[in-house]
Amino acid sequence: MAQIQFPEPVLSISVEAASRYDKDKLTTTLMKLVDEDPTLILSTDDESGQLLLAGMGELHLEIILDRMRIEYGVNCTRGRPRVAYRETIGKSAEAEGRFVRQTGGRGQYGVCSMRVEPLPRGSGLEFESEITGATLSTEWYGPIEKGFREAARSGIVAGYPVVDVKAVLTDGAQHDTDSSEMAFQIAGSLAFKAAMHKASPRLLEPIMRQEVVMPADMLGPVIGDLNSRRGKIQSMETSEPKPGQAGIGSVMAFVPLSETFNYSTDLRSLTSGFGDFNMELDHYDVMPQHVLETLDR
């Protein structure tokens, strides 16, 4: 049968045990929940050492923490949600990566030129070479690509993974004795970072498809609230009221994930408890510059 493709998590929180007793069971319990749910990812922050739990949204992660407490008896505290941003480029650019070290004896020598090009959303990363002739031995193409892909794990805007970029190897230079895989891997990484700086780097934010249902007479305040969250209204409908019943209104909008925190509480307050909503990841889009400047990195 065809393999099932699960969506990438879009939100992560830090998780810490509430007590020493809970600490002994925390990781084991989280591993069980991750095994059950392919849209959950458990990782450890390299800098802080914190456990990070990533999922499909705020409600998804809240339910997981409730299950830990109710089903497994494990209490924990959660850190601030962190959105899974991505980085990309807005135009093509080319740069050289040079890693040359001479310290006595055998040195390190790797030089390559790389052009980066933007790709359509959802394309991921691509690598190819347009070198012809014997300018650079093909044995160094693999290390250069490896350096490019490792560098793409952390972009230059805010340190998020780079997506939808094509790297094209355009030129290179080698040394008969000093060239090595490590030298060309580092050169590939340096070339990619330098080219990305010139290529109008941008931050991408996850955009959620959000559908809200509420009494028709509350449609206006709900739309106003979505607009204040940088939402883009795609459609709205109202049903004719029946005798003794109010009409029902519904609206569908694209809303940045970072603007949806605590939305369930805000919607209940806005609609006196009569509103309901559901949302799912739809696509990634470029974050506006005025929002990027206020981002806590």
pLDDT at 177 (0 to 100): 82
User: What pLDDT digit, counting tens, does each position of 212-269 carry?
Assistant: 999 888 889 999 999 999 999 999 998 877 766 678 889 999 999 889 888 888 888 8
User: What pLDDT digit, counting tens, does each position of 174-208 carry?
Assistant: 888 888 899 999 999 999 999 999 999 999 999 99
pLDDT at 48 (0 to 100): 63
Rounded mean pLDDT, 132-155: 90
Residue 124 to residue 202: CA distance in whole angstroms: 15
Residue 282 to residue 259: CA distance in whole angstroms: 15
Handedness of CA 256, 257, 260, 261 (dihedral sign): negative
* Count of residues making up the chain: 297
Residue 165 to residue 123: CA distance in whole angstroms: 8
74 neighbors 68 (Cβ within 8 angstroms): yes
pLDDT at 208 (0 to 100): 92
* 89 pLDDT higher than 90: yes
Distance of CA 260 to the CA centre of its chain: 16
127 neighbors 145 (Cβ within 8 angstroms): yes
Pairwise pLDDT comparison (191 vs 43), residue with the higher score = 191
Tokens standing for 277?
A: 């909503």
User: What pLDDT digit, counting tens, does each position of 3-16 carry?
Assistant: 887 878 888 888 88
pLDDT at 296 (0 to 100): 61
For residue 91, what is the DSSP state? S
Residue 168 to residue 144: CA distance in whole angstroms: 10
Rounded mean pLDDT, 75-84: 84
Dihedral of the CA atoms 279, 280, 284, 290 (nearest 10)?
A: 20
pLDDT at 47 (0 to 100): 58
